[in-house]
Structure 1
Amino acid sequence: MSLISSYWESFVKKLVEENKDKRSVIPSLLNQAKIVELNDDKISLSVASPGAYDFLAKRSHEIEQRFFNHSQKKIEIEFIVKMPSKKTVSAPLLSFEPSIEDVFAKAGLNKKYNFDNFAVSTSNQVAYAAAQAVVKNPGSAYNPLFLYGGVGVGKTHIAQSVAKKILEEDRNQKVYFCPGDNFTNELIESIRGKATGRFRQKYRYLNLLIIDDIQFIAGKNAVQEEFFHTFNAIASSGGQIILTSDRPPSAIKNLEDRLHSRFLGGLTVDIQPPDFELRSAILLIKAKEKNINVDIEAVKIIAERITDCRGLEGALLSIYAKVFGTKEQVDLEAVEMFFSQDNKESKKRVNPSDVIKTVCSFYNIKQSHLKGPSRAASIAFYRQITMYILLRELGLTLSAVAEMLNRKDHTTALHAKQKVGNLILHDLNLKKEVDTITQSLFQST
């Protein structure tokens, strides 16, 4: 028996003795817990029910302090759930199996993402290889798999492709894709409606959880607390976690140390912006999906001019719309004509509603959220970006911009212009996002 094990045994025994007449829950649960892993600075204990896990996990810091007072040894205590095996129940003679499309939809997956239409090059080959490894050995290959990079580099595409592959092999797998702000909003609603048990039932027993834009939970203490326990519950039961972000874990401000440690416990992959070859391949894939006949020389010109993935598809569709009915294919002449359009004339044809629609489409939010009273950090920031573009690109007055977004004071628009203008000087990812939105606006006119 190791020294730490001996200390732990005496600690639990002492707790039980001291509380035998007090009906205290902690000593009883710790006495039933079993050691599954032990070293000099960490002890992992298995408990037999989710209820026991919830109760002890919330009090882990208190238990660690009491153990230190007993032994003068500072250790991290981790709880995991080991459910007793259930008896096999024979299936009914007739059963309904949902279609794979219904399974994907229930898991929150977008039908357009899969490995078949994912183009691979040097900028994303590490992420692609890691994703394939996770498909083969979920829960053990890289857990978590943390993918980060700018907008439109394929983080969501890879993550959802993993989910689809796992579900194609076994439809009974519990898989869920969730944007980071949705996780936050769901938790808040569950607390408000006193339904946290239902929330935990939904998330803690998944075989695969994907959180897109995990950086949105930073700075929200209750959300980080809940996600920490969700992460532990899934990982301890052999489940897989995939996280995406626009920045590495070390650059996520106001992220708890324990979550930072968990995020770095698997594999972190930086997905670089697509190179020329990858952009060309993406265009060819998109053209095939949309049944657009495109000349290879035209593809090269578009790939040279447009550097982000989302802009590529928009440019291709815009050019195709202009030549549809007059040409059999998108050729070099059509592309050169498209790019030679006077940008100033384009700007005159863009109106404020176009800007608002484009921002909402880019960030996948509703116009009612942007124009509404919501003070959620993400919505407020997207609103500021909208104001910045309206002011910079359309030359509108501060009062007009504030009124369009239902803000009472023109100083709100002034603050947005100054804040976003300063941020894009230092934040390359944000600059790319604003440039992509602007480019999309003036190319689609």
Structure 2
Amino acid sequence: MPGEVLNAWARIRKNLRESAGARLFEQWLKPIELDDSDDETTVRLTLPSAFTANWVRNHYQDRLVQEFRAAIPAIRTVSIEVRQASAPAVLRIASDEPAEAPAAPVEAAERPTLDPRLTFERFVVDPSNRVAFNAARALAEPGVPRFSPLFLHSGTGLGKTHLMHAIGHAYLAAVPDARVFLMSAERFMFEFVAAIRANDTHAFKTRLRGADLLMIDDLHFISGKKPTQDEFFHTINELTAAGKRLVITADRHPQGLDDVEARIVSRLAMGLVADIKTPDATLRRALLDHRLGELPEVKVPEDVLELLAHKVTGSLREVEGALNRLVAYAQLTGEEINLEFAQATLGDVLRGGTKRITIDEIQRAVSAHYDLKPVDLVSARRAVVVARPRQIAMYLAKRLTTRSLPEIGRKFGGRDHSTVIHAVRRIEELRGSDNEIDGAVRSLIRQLEG
């Protein structure tokens, strides 16, 4: 390990101790250890558990990157990982280090660890992401790929990168000797430009075009970069022609990529294009339950989980971050997690995602969706064209407002609370078996929460 990195880490630890305070430093930052890295632009830090590593990533990753870059300008990445007794599955990605055999024309592959959190087992699946998940699983299977490339698109923090790492985990587990490359489109551009300046594009091309699985994240970053797009097109052309696996992610559909050449868009569209939709409260709650299942010692009450699922309405990353923050503060203060503690701890997060939804708004939205008049939902009409939308509106009122069952019943023509209970249960059942109703409910929730 270079002495320069060791000296920098000693100074950074001192700064962290002074700025974080003794209790926080002892609990979360002191266990960090500096580990060896084969890449001189990357610093590897390890912690004893996935939970502590996740907390440090969420709260200190940006700070650590800034500190190391200030001390050593060549540092580009700080990797925060879990210490493991045995070597974990790894990705092989491009490196500037020479190969073991000096005369070899192709550079050796670096072997950084995959993020241990980002596996298929930890990906929470629901209708908003099921196609993307199943496509990723299929592409990770050994043998002749059913399709390639796979193009995943969604907003930030909804699971594109998670699925990429999961593909890497699964494919390397099935084919340990495979050549797998994972890089951002920005890194692809940076390395290609560096190769041009060094008059060594042959090595760059040979390395990537020899991949069994190539994964490029955030393709939208190469918009308008013609030389990089030319090289990218020829790379994906050779890989797909050779029957190799290719995974691309972006924040929009290929047809919506500004200043990306038509031939690239056409080539990407020849594979499978899968989107990940904005999560609703059901998926956010499922994610919280899944994460808590990994932390059996942590107890979070039902009303707190409902609060997080309905009020933290950004990306899934933000939902998970809110849970991590809540658990961390409870451990640091020794307080019990309850609704009052959650509201005090996450006040800024909850205020940012709060939109007060009324039953009147729900009735107007449902009426418009089904081409009815709001008065129809409070009438005595029992025809299915009115009764089913009325049940959906009652279900949404229970899900999206704090009104009691009797209050909801009164807003729907003075109906009894048992009628509301029946409506909620019926729509829950239908959402599991009727795609049309489930889609309508999801659309209405997005409209009302948005």
Q: How does 1:263-274 map to 2 (within 5 A)?
A: 263-274=268-279
**Cross-structure match for 2:344:** 337
- Residue correspondence of structure 1 range 11-26 to structure 2 within 5 A: none
> Residue 109 of structure 1 is aligned with which of 99, 109, 114?
114
The aligned counterpart of 1:187 is: 192
3-state secondary structure, aligned to 1:171: coil
Q: Deviations over 1:236-284 (max 9, x none)?
A: 2221101100011111111111111101001111110112121112223
Aligned to 1:371: none
Match of residue 295 from structure 1: 301
1:418 paired residue number? none
| 2:87 pairs with one of 99, 113, 122 | 99
Q: Which amino acid aligns with 2:274?
A: V
Asked if structure 2 preserves the Cα contact closer than 8 Å seen for 1:107 and 1:177, the reply is: no
The answer as to whether partners of 1:181 and 1:216 remain within 8 angstroms in 2 is: yes
| TM-score normalised by length of structure 1 | 0.52
**Which string of whole-angstrom CA distances, capped at 9 and with x for unpartnered residues, describes residues 146-181 of structure 1?**
110100110111121111101011110111111110
Task: Give, in whole Å, the separation in 1 of the partners of 2:348 and 2:210.
Answer: 54
Greater CA drift, 245-254 or 275-284 = 275-284
Query: How far off is 1:134 after superposition?
Result: 1.3
Equivalent pair of 1:292/1:329 in contact (CA under 8 Å)? no
Q: Is the 8 A contact 2:223 2:257 kept in 1?
A: yes
Corresponding residue of 1:381: none
Q: Equivalent residue for 1:374? A: none
Provide the residue aligned with 2:224 in structure 1.
Answer: 219
**Residues of 1 paired with 2:329 and 2:301: CA distance?**
15
Matches of 1:132 and 1:286, distance apart in 2: 21
Counterpart-to-counterpart distance in 2, 1:188 and 1:215: 17
Give the Cα separation in 1 of the matches to 2:350 and 2:318.
16
CA distance in 2 between counterparts of 1:271 and 1:341 reads: 27
Task: Report the equivalent of 1:207.
Answer: 212
Tell me the SS of whatever aligns to 1:128.
helix
Closer, same or farther: CA 263–343 of 1 in aligned 2, 3 Å = closer
Select which of 310, 313, 329 maps to 1:322: 329
Pick aligned residue for 1:165 from 167, 170, 176 = 170
| Counterpart in the other structure of 1:417 | none
Aligned position for 2:359 = none
Cα distance in structure 2, aligned partners of 1:198 and 1:186:
11
**C-alpha separation in 2, matches of 1:277 and 1:202:** 43
Distance 1:138 1:226 in 2: 27
Once the two structures are superposed, the pairs formed by residues 274-313 of structure 1 within 5 Å of their partners are 274-289=279-294, 292-307=298-313, 308-313=315-320
Mapped partners of 1:171, 1:342: distance in 2: 42
Per the alignment, in what secondary structure is the counterpart of residue 324 of structure 1? helix
Tell me how large the CA RMSD over aligned residues is: 2.5
- Give the counterpart of 1:156 among 154, 161, 166: 161
Question: Are the aligned partners of 1:100 and 1:168 in contact in 2 as well (CA < 8 Å)?
Answer: no
Task: Judge which range, 310-319 or 231-240, deviates more.
Answer: 310-319
The letter of the residue matching 2:326 is I
By how many angstroms is 1:328 displaced?
Answer: 7.0
What is the alpha-carbon distance in structure 2 between the residues aligned to residue 216 and residue 151 of structure 1? 14
CA–CA distance in structure 2, aligned partners of residues 155 and 313 of structure 1: 15
C-alpha displacement of 1:325: 5.4
Q: Structure 1 residues 170 and 187, CA, compared in 2 at 3 Å: closer, same or farther?
A: same
Q: Judging changes above 3 Å, is the alpha-carbon distance between structure 1 residues 143 and 101 closer, same or farther for their aligned structure 2 residues?
A: closer
Distance (Å, rounded) in 2 between the aligned partners of 1:254 and 1:321? 44
| Identity, % of aligned positions | 32
Match of 1:197 in 2: 202
Write out per-residue CA displacement over residues 15-67 of structure 1, whole angstroms, 9 at most, x where no aligned residue.
xxxxxxxxxxxxxxxxxxxxxxxxxxxxxxxxxxxxxxxxxxxxxxxxxxxxx
The answer to whether 1:129 aligns with 2:134 is yes
Q: 1:107 to 1:263 in 2, by over 3 A?
A: farther
Q: CA 1:329–1:142 in 2, change beyond 3 Å: closer, same or farther?
A: farther
Query: Structure 2: 5+ residue runs without aligned partners?
Result: 1-85, 93-109, 352-450
Contact map agreement 2:311 2:350 (CA 8 A) in 1: no
Question: Quick one: structure 1 residues 139 and 157, their matched pair in 2 at CA, closer, same or farther if it must change by over 3 Å?
Answer: farther
Number of the residue aligned with 1:72: none
1:203–1:230: 8 Å Cα contact kept in structure 2? yes
With normalisation by structure 2, the TM-score equals 0.51
1:149/1:270 contact within 8 Å kept:
yes
Deviation at residue 313 of structure 1 after TM alignment? 2.2
Residues 263 and 248 of structure 1, relative CA distance in 2, 3 Å threshold: same
**CA 1:241–1:181 in 2, change beyond 3 Å: closer, same or farther?**
same
Contact 1:142 1:266 in 2 (8 A): yes
Structure 1, unmatched stretches of 5+, are 1-97, 345-445
SS of the residue corresponding to residue 173 of structure 1 reads coil
Q: How far apart are the structure 2 equivalents of 1:203 and 1:108?
A: 19
Give the whole-Å Cα distance in 1 for the aligned partners of 2:188 and 2:200. Answer: 14
Could you list the runs of 4 or more consecutive aligned residues of structure 1 that deviate by over 4 angstroms after TM superposition? 102-105, 288-291, 325-329, 339-344
Partner SS, residue 113 of structure 1 = coil
| 2-structure distance, mates of 1:238, 1:141 | 10
Answer whether contact 2:142 2:174 (CA < 8 A) is retained.
no
1:208-255 residue CA offsets vs partner (Å, 9 max, x unmatched): 111000111221111111111111221122211011000111111111
Distance 2:143 2:302 in 1: 39
**3-state SS of paired residue (2:286):** helix
Whole-angstrom CA distance in 2 between matches of 1:289 and 1:115: 15
Q: Work out whether residues 124 and 287 of structure 2, in 8 Å CA contact, stay in contact via their aligned partners in 1.
A: yes
SS at 2:214's partner residue?
strand
Contact 2:322/2:346 (<8 A) preserved = no
